[in-house]
Amino acid sequence: MIFEVMTKYDYEQLVFCQDKNSGLKAIIAIHDTTLGPALGGCRMWNYQTEEEAITDALRLARGMTYKNAAAGLNLGGGKSVIIGDPKKDKSEELFRAFGRFIQGLNGRYITAEDVGTTVEDMDLIYMETKYVTGVSPAFGSSGNPSPVTAYGVYRGMKATAKVAFGDDSLKGKTVAVQGVGNVAYNLCKYLHEEGAQLIVTDINPDSVKRAVQEFGAQAVNPNEIYDVDCDIFAPCALGAVVNDETIERFKCKVIAGAANNQLKEDRHGDMLEQKGIVYAPDYVINAGGVINVADELYGYNRERAMKKVEGIYDTILKVFEISERDGIPSYKAADRMAEERIESVRKSRSTFLSNERSILHFDHR
Ligand SMILES: NC(=O)C1=CN([C@@H]2O[C@H](COP(=O)(O)OP(=O)(O)OC[C@H]3O[C@@H](n4cnc5c(N)ncnc54)[C@H](O)[C@@H]3O)[C@@H](O)[C@H]2O)C=CC1
Ligand SMILES: CC(C)CC(=O)C(=O)O
């Protein structure tokens, strides 16, 4: 069954990591390295079954191939998951053991934060491997990617508003935010500063309370967020929230948020289009974090990174241009843009290039 899925979507490698001493059970999925080493975060989550963890790792890794390609990065797509409760199961041994598995891949996979992992966890991984980003700024690194992801989502939301409402101002717009965690808290700050009205929800009452107190947000129960009257729905928790059930309920004109894999299936992107909801493809709008951590690989320069993140505005506009030009929904337009880049690089890479393993270096004459 696993090879069937890997073949269907062309995955290169799936690595299972087990370490009895620390209790580590992790999966590293490498989807495609045509553009460069696979970069993508590490999620720690209390998966109920191994299948759920494998499926999540695979889906997230493929998303990173498209995200990195669409963002113009010289990086392929990969992602990892650690099976466990981030509130109870973290330890130095666990992350160091995980770091050693990453080191074993010799640079084919580079990790970073995702849901359930922090800068401190990355610092532990860094004790064992240099193939980790989002490490503490004290190491010359870029630190927590979430605020930068939020800035990119904010920029992408403005561009999507321009397409949907003819004006990119978010002043007076009502934005319903699902999940006010690391990314969305920072996103709410930008939205509040611009004068947007916020409706928020989270399964963590403390996060909701903070958004209500700091941004005057209106709070609703997690299951009510799909029904609220709003201009923009911003999914910023987990994936698959755009599905048969929720599409019927949405009253928004725009969907633009940070969560990965927002569409449960591709056909839900078609359904949004039919309903007249303008959808900002998830992996384009939420690329700020990866653009920021990827800059570390050149020697981190915050100004350069932020300039690139700002460009998410133009990338989103480009996606909608392709969508209009080719008469396809926005999610397909984003896929087309990413796939075209990967294909053109794949073709130009078929040209011979000498390296230490090539025949030119086995000179016995
Ligand atoms: N952190 C980053 O830089 C990036 C994050 N993302 C994606 O953005 C999303 C959010 O990431 P973070 O803010 O880092 O994670 P986080 O874990 O800090 O925030 C997620 C929030 O969603 C809440 N939540 C979970 N299930 C919920 C539900 N059913 N209803 C309402 N709230 C719920 C959680 O309690 C938490 O507060 C994730 O899908 C992540 O993969 C994507 C790109 C970069
Ligand atoms: C820096 C990261 C959060 C990269 C990643 O895994 C993502 O964009 O989903």
pLDDT single digits (tens) 259-274? 999 999 999 999 999 9
Q: Is residue 364 part of a domain?
A: no
Contact 30, 13 (CB under 8 A): yes
Tens of pLDDT, residue by residue over 69-116, are 999 999 999 999 999 999 999 999 999 999 999 999 999 999 999 999
CA 11 to chain centre: 18
Give the distance (Å) from ligand 2 centre to CA of residue 184.
Answer: 14
pLDDT of residue 364: 67
Going by pLDDT thresholds of 50, 70 and 90, the confidence category of residue 355 is confident
Residue 351 has pLDDT above 90, yes or no: no
CA 44 to chain centre: 14
Residues 16 and 117 in one domain: yes
- For 25, the 3-state DSSP assignment is strand
CA 280 to chain centre: 13
Give the distance (Å) from ligand 1 centre to CA of residue 202.
Answer: 10
Tell me the C-alpha distance between 251 and 51, whole Å: 34
Tens of pLDDT, residue by residue over 2-44, are 999 999 999 999 999 999 999 999 999 999 999 999 999 999 9
Domain boundary at 117, 136, 155, which?
A: 136
Q: Is residue 356 part of a domain?
A: no
Tell me the C-alpha distance between 364 and 19, whole Å: 44
Ligand whose nearest atom lies closest to the CA of 118: 1
| Residue 146 alpha carbon, nearest atom of ligand 1 | 3
* Residues β-bridged to residue 17: 26
Cβ(42) to ligand 1 under 6 A?
A: no
The phi and psi torsions of 16 (rounded to 5 degrees) equal: -100, 130
Residue 349 has pLDDT above 90, yes or no: no
Residue 231 has pLDDT above 80, yes or no: yes
Q: Is residue 87 part of a domain?
A: yes
The active-site residue out of 25, 67, 79, 158 is 79
pLDDT of residue 161: 98
Residues 299 and 202 in one domain: yes
CATH label of the domain that carries residue 315 = 3.40.50.720
The ipTM (two decimal places) reads 0.98
Residues 167 and 249 in one domain: yes
Contact 257, 282 (CB under 8 A): yes
pLDDT of residue 363: 66
Going by pLDDT thresholds of 50, 70 and 90, the confidence category of residue 354 is confident
Domain count, the chain: 2
Q: Is residue 365 part of a domain?
A: no
Residues 129 and 250 in one domain: no
Give the distance (Å) from ligand 2 centre to CA of residue 287.
Answer: 7
| Residue 293 alpha carbon, nearest atom of ligand 2 | 1
Tell me the C-alpha distance between 149 and 110, whole Å: 18
- % the chain with pLDDT above 70: 99
pLDDT of residue 87: 96
List, as residue ranges, the binding site for NAD(+): 179-184
**Mean pLDDT, rounded, for 249-256:** 98
Cβ(237) to ligand 1 under 6 A?
A: yes
Q: Which residues line ligand 2 (CB under 6 A)?
A: 40-41, 67, 79, 112-114, 134, 145, 260, 286, 289-290, 293
Residues 297 and 253 in one domain: yes
Residues 255 and 302 in one domain: yes
Tell me the C-alpha distance between 126 and 143, whole Å: 13
Query: Which of 125-129, 152-156, 166-170, 352-356 is the least confident region?
Result: 352-356
Looking at ligand 1, which residue's alpha carbon is closest to its atom 17? 115
Residues 306 and 280 in one domain: yes
Closest by CA position to 87, among listed 41, 54, 122, 118: 118
pLDDT of residue 357: 77
Tell me the C-alpha distance between 181 and 200, whole Å: 11
* Residues β-bridged to residue 235: 178
Cβ(216) to ligand 1 under 6 A?
A: no
| Residue 60 alpha carbon, nearest atom of ligand 1 | 41
| Residue 113 alpha carbon, nearest atom of ligand 2 | 3
DSSP string spanning 75-96? -EEEEEEEES-TTTS--HHHHH
DSSP string spanning 240-268? --BSHHHHHH---SEE--S-SS-BSSHHH
Contact 198, 222 (CB under 8 A): no
Looking at ligand 1, which residue's alpha carbon is closest to its atom 19? 181
Tens of pLDDT, residue by residue over 43-65, are 999 999 999 999 999 999 999 99
Q: Is residue 363 part of a domain?
A: no
Q: Is residue 192 part of a domain?
A: yes
* Residues β-bridged to residue 47: none
Residue 365 has pLDDT above 70, yes or no: no
Ligand whose nearest atom lies closest to the CA of 110: 2
Q: Is residue 270 part of a domain?
A: yes
Residues 119 and 165 in one domain: no
pLDDT of residue 76: 98
Residue 194 has pLDDT above 70, yes or no: yes
Give the distance (Å) from ligand 1 centre to CA of residue 128.
Answer: 27
Residues 297 and 179 in one domain: yes
pTM of the entire structure?
0.96
Mean pLDDT of the chain, nearest integer? 96
CATH label of the domain that carries residue 104 = 3.40.50.10860
Residues 231 and 128 in one domain: no
- For 111, the 3-state DSSP assignment is strand
Domain boundary at 112, 136, 160, which?
A: 136
Tens of pLDDT, residue by residue over 303-314, are 999 999 999 999
Domain boundary at 136, 154, 181, which?
A: 136
Residues 97 and 30 in one domain: yes
Range of the structural domain that residue 103 is part of: 2-64+78-136
- % the chain with pLDDT above 90: 94
Going by pLDDT thresholds of 50, 70 and 90, the confidence category of residue 362 is confident
- Determine whether 87 is an active site residue: no
Tell me the C-alpha distance between 73 and 35, whole Å: 8
Ligand whose nearest atom lies closest to the CA of 148: 1
List, as residue ranges, the binding site: 179-184
Tell me the C-alpha distance between 230 and 227, whole Å: 9
Q: Is residue 73 part of a domain?
A: no
Residues 46 and 27 in one domain: yes
Cβ(204) to ligand 1 under 6 A?
A: yes
